[in-house]
Structure 1
């Protein structure tokens, strides 16, 4: 069904040179991911639902269509239509994607929400987006009902679990529905998904995406997962589908390409259970965030795996973790880079390019990426500047929801600024330095934390690490590291000195931490990124 965007060229540079976008004027995510497959192969497996107690349930494309049709009819009967925002507050399960398809069939806008969000986070996003309806479970109903007096626009709440009125039970709505909604004739530029940023650099902002951003992800999918949609392919990610990474780096591509997608809720990531799930379900296409890989490294691989490709993004991996992953999981890790506003624009692709240790990789075919100065000028190789993506770009957001001034601030001319600092070498490889606000200024040096963190986590006793700058009257700032030790490892001054010496020897004396503090766990965003700002507040 799915026509590939990239031909079988031998290397990434030829792909870049010969690439041409193929985006139709009229486009709807639900048509590509559900309707077309249901018409051509209704019995084909779309989703493999593995419940928390181990039960296994197959959802075909025909079933996905029937459930999403019924939900769309119910929503439409309650006044939900084109452009309306509908929240999806559910952990990984087939109903998440059925809800997405239903909303798209009405020309509505999906608002994905993390189940871990507390009342303030939920209230802000639901009020800011003026969501008309929400689809959730029993736990979500309890949260939303407590907030409902603050949310006058939230007219309808649906639950996948039985619930009393006025909550609508999804099963009852499906049983009462007959037929299918008229297909929404949406343009590729019409709004489709509203994903809020994690708020690491300020209040969360809603990044509004068009239907075309689905296709904008495909060049990365086809290069970082070579021969994606080959016979026997099965995809999975432990990342929540409310995050652009979990949703667009694995879930939606699997539906679009006809690759069975495993849906499995993990209330807390369990590395041994992850190994078992991968082996039992024959999962061979994986998106594993760095935190998941770090935890898996601490657990024994329980069975032999047959993994074909792995991607990872959100934080730099480092050589030690990459080597472990390839040796244990059986496939190299292709690192991918992007952000909520403009995802999957840089990547490393084993087999299609030389992969340089520590590099982010090359610009993905179809995307023009540069390192620029504050005036928007592309910098020469070797100089540190901000990573920027040239507009227009199919994967780029339409703008921040109701924040035109913040949207304007994101751009310098036609360049969309990412806020990430990097340098680019003579061959076009990008080398990450840090978030702009995470740079440490010490004795005149500008120091990025990622390289130090990767060095520290290469030590056998260190599971995770985060590096910040703390004020110093002489050096402006000094480097401080927080480390999470493996179970059974004991903290000591001797270990602290060993870690400092490791950084001095492997990177440079001037970046070695002067202070190292053990910590039980690092503060993380809902998307698994370290909140260094919280650590800076802790250190003051």
Structure 2
């Protein structure tokens, strides 16, 4: 089968220090993620398998690069005909499915900005992101269509709604649009610095922020992807992640890099994560490489491991893994679990990988080749063993362009040539970085980074809630659970209140943000300026 030239950045195995010393970025000035991840492969190997989709009923569907190109070209032509122009935002509100990739590719071919959104977002969370982004079009499915249409009258920028399910005017049918004749279509010639994708943060200290990324951020992910996945790719590799492709982890830590390297990508939606089903899926599809969040790994550890696993390496990130889980991966899964660190604004910049360094359980590892990462305080770089904020040197190919419509927040994020992550860590004598604490209020639960503000706003919509504060509490499986502290109006009845507030969060924000505990409080700790001191509530 014909192939593109070898795209790997690391063709010789070496130690971590040697890999860092010898690495140089080679990001082309003109590039487009859709061309690199679809059209280039379709030109030389149109029948090469790009995606293997497993339907809920067990049916298996394959998409080749040729099919991806035809569908994304057709959708691009259709979107242009519906008024989508370069720079417009195209929302992708779909679960794991080839249609997600087709939509991303089509938007990028137009020079538009794809906007992945989580299908479990509630009414308020979805309205905010569609409104704040000014999304011009949204592609969704039958399960989410009614939610979108209910919001549409209040979204003046949203001109086009497309569904993968049954459609009737004014909604357009996805299958009809991808069949549009693309013969006269030429993808837009984009620069590496042109916007490509916008991914919203969790809203840790305020409203969620739209993180705008350029086409170059694909290249920024590749060094960590190759090393954390065992000098990826190798012949016969197959990739998979249970993480939703609406998050930067699912999309950029596995899905898009697989397309770039020509590695078949397994696609499947779990209505609810099932560890034994996930293990069976990996065995049946002969998955060699996976990105699996820590909570999913902990659940897998409690399940029966399937026979026939072909795993070479697993990448994981978002929270530290203990020595016992690392040992379990080597012994029961037959592969290392390599950890990495990053955030939506600058992803995959630190990693800990078997065979390339001494693994220190609990440590995030060392800066990835191509990324300069250090720990700083208000006066500069901190010393060994001292606590400092994790900072990434700017510019960096993986780094965001800016926050959408938030120039002041952007200015605070990148200061004096350093992107400030807001995460505190220590560094040992060998340079290994270990997470220490957060200086914001993000909650890390089951692989999700959850911000308290949206949840608090939702809780406050209950007529009996005077004030609410949301924090994380330690949990052995999920790392943290969401805990809500609420102050009720005088005379309010507490009976059934916990269930009612949980239902509000599920409907307005998302199921994964629902507080597992709701605590009634007489008052909440406050600063002199009237801000809630969430840190005083942790552990309560």
TM exceeding 0.5: yes
What aligned pairs does 1:75-90 form with structure 2 within 5 A after superposition?
75-90=79-94
Query: RMSD of aligned C-alpha atoms?
Result: 2.8
1:432 and 2:435 aligned: yes
**Given that residues 116 and 199 in structure 2 are in contact (C-alpha distance below 8 angstroms), is that contact kept between their aligned partners in structure 1?**
yes
2:354 maps to which of 313, 325, 350: 350
Quote how far apart the aligned CAs of 1:331 are: 0.5
2:341 maps to which of 326, 337, 356: 337
TM-score (ref. length: structure 1): 0.83
Structure with the larger RCO, 1 or 2 (CA within 8 Å, 6+ apart): 2
1:50-97 CA deviation, whole Å, 9 max, x = no partner?
A: 001110011000000010011000000111121110000000000100
Give 3-state SS (helix, strand or coil) of 1:434's partner: strand
Runs of 4+ in 1 over 3 A off after TM superposition: 479-486, 523-540
1:306-326 CA deviation, whole Å, 9 max, x = no partner?
A: 210100001111122222222
2:48 maps to which of 44, 47, 54: 44
How far apart in 1 are the matches of 2:68 and 2:518? 41
How far apart in 1 are the matches of 2:185 and 2:131? 28
CA 1:257–1:527 in structure 2 vs 1: closer, same or farther (change >3 Å)?
Answer: farther
**Given that residues 426 and 435 in structure 2 are in contact (C-alpha distance below 8 angstroms), is that contact kept between their aligned partners in structure 1?**
yes
1:31 maps to which of 10, 29, 35: 35
1:436-493 CA deviation, whole Å, 9 max, x = no partner?
A: 2369xxxxxxxxx99xx9xxx9xxxxxxxx9xxxxxxxxxxxx99654689xxxxxxx
How far apart in 2 are the matches of 1:485 and 1:227? 30
What aligned pairs does 1:259-408 form with structure 2 within 5 A after superposition?
259-375=263-379, 377-408=380-411
How far apart in 1 are the matches of 2:510 and 2:352? 25
Q: What is aligned with 2:253? A: 249
How far apart in 2 are the matches of 1:129 and 1:378? 36
TM-score (ref. length: structure 2): 0.83
The unaligned stretches of length 5 or more in structure 1 are 440-448, 458-465, 467-478, 487-519
Give 3-state SS (helix, strand or coil) of 2:391's partner: strand
1:317-372 CA deviation, whole Å, 9 max, x = no partner?
A: 11222222222211111001000000000001111111112211000000000000
Q: What is aligned with 1:66? A: 70
1:152-194 CA deviation, whole Å, 9 max, x = no partner?
A: 1000011111111110001122334342521211000000000
What aligned pairs does 1:471-510 form with structure 2 within 5 A after superposition?
482-483=474-475
How far apart in 2 are the matches of 1:214 and 1:178? 26
Give 3-state SS (helix, strand or coil) of 1:437's partner: coil
The unaligned stretches of length 5 or more in structure 2 are 451-470, 479-501, 520-533
- Count of residue correspondences: 471
1:414 and 2:417 aligned: yes
Out of 525-534 and 132-141, give the one that drifted further.
525-534
How far apart in 2 are the matches of 1:83 and 1:118? 26
**Given that residues 137 and 160 in structure 1 are in contact (C-alpha distance below 8 angstroms), is that contact kept between their aligned partners in structure 2?**
yes
